[in-house]
Chain A
Amino acid sequence: MTMTTETLIVPSFDNDDSTGRKLAIICSKGNLDMVYPGLILANAALGEGVETHLFFTFWGFDIINRKTMDDLKFSFLGNTAMHPPGMFGVSVPQGMGGLPGATAMATHMLKKQIADLDVPEVPEFLDMIHGSGGHLWACRMSADMMKLHEDDLFEGVEGIISASDFIEMTDGAQLLFI
């Protein structure tokens, strides 16, 4: 039996549902370090009961292309913030990112750091987002440019849609462009 007193505090888990909060995330980059922010935020929003839609466009198409999704890369070429893991203030000349093997090495290091935090790789992350009720949409123009079809995409993608369709579908949503 539950005794209710004046001081009974219960978390208001479901109060936000009535606000109909919606989040739209446009993923336009295929570099590994630009892919994770969108996926992590989508996953966090879903865990908070927020209706979440992701739109994959241009280089972001690589995230849902089954041929590339497991092989996204990180380069520090052009990234002046690059430093070795944990060595703040020690700069790595970003131009070194152009040397042969630098991208493979940087990708390997980044993937290891992400795995150490128990954060999944991209295909498994998409599975998790899909399983959490997230909506995944592919950009029509990108598909046409790359001559790709639904068969080429991660199976959780709900459809290849136009930019207008996405804008219409996410009416009233908060929007992130990454």
Chain B
Amino acid sequence: MTTSTIAGRPVDVNEEGFLLDPGQWDEQLAPELAKLIGIALTEEHWKVLRFLRDDFAIQGETATLRRTSLQTGKPVKELFELFPGKPAKKMAYVAGLPKPKGCV
């Protein structure tokens, strides 16, 4: 385990940089995490992040891209635009959640 200082506070992260404890995340942390991977958060990003946080609280695991698309009503294409390249991992990172486990 490594402790990184993000937004002026210590955060525990794994070897890739993902938060180990989703409880250390709050809405002040998200813009800083996003900035670290080159994303400036808009309201559309926030809709996705809030869904991911709420869904994780209920399901106990990070939603896959498809689940996120179905539940937020955002087409997969839009999720790729919001979080380019590797949307599922990027959105999980900014939401302070583990990488999704599902294949699809």
Contacts and interface: CB of A to CB of B under 8 A. Distances in A.
A3 B66 contact: no
Interface of B: 2-8, 13, 15-18, 32, 35-38, 64-67, 69, 75-77, 80, 85-90, 93, 102-104
Nearest to B9: A3
Contacts of B80: 131-133
Given A14-B38, A47-B88, A132-B80, 17 more contacts: A2-B32, A3-B6, A3-B8, A7-B4, A8-B4, A11-B37, A13-B37, A17-B85, A40-B103, A47-B89, A48-B86, A117-B102, A118-B64, A118-B67, A118-B102, A128-B66, A131-B75
What secondary structure prevails in chain B residues at the interface with A? Answer: mixed
Contacts of B7: 1-3
B5 A5 contact: yes
**Residue in B2, B32, B69, B86 with the greatest tally of chain A CB atoms within 10 Å:** B86
Nearest to B35: A2
A118 B37 contact: no
A40 B66 CA distance: 12
Contacts of B77: 131-133
A15 to B, nearest CB: 10
Contacts of B64: 118
A44 interface: yes
Contacts of B6: 2-3, 8
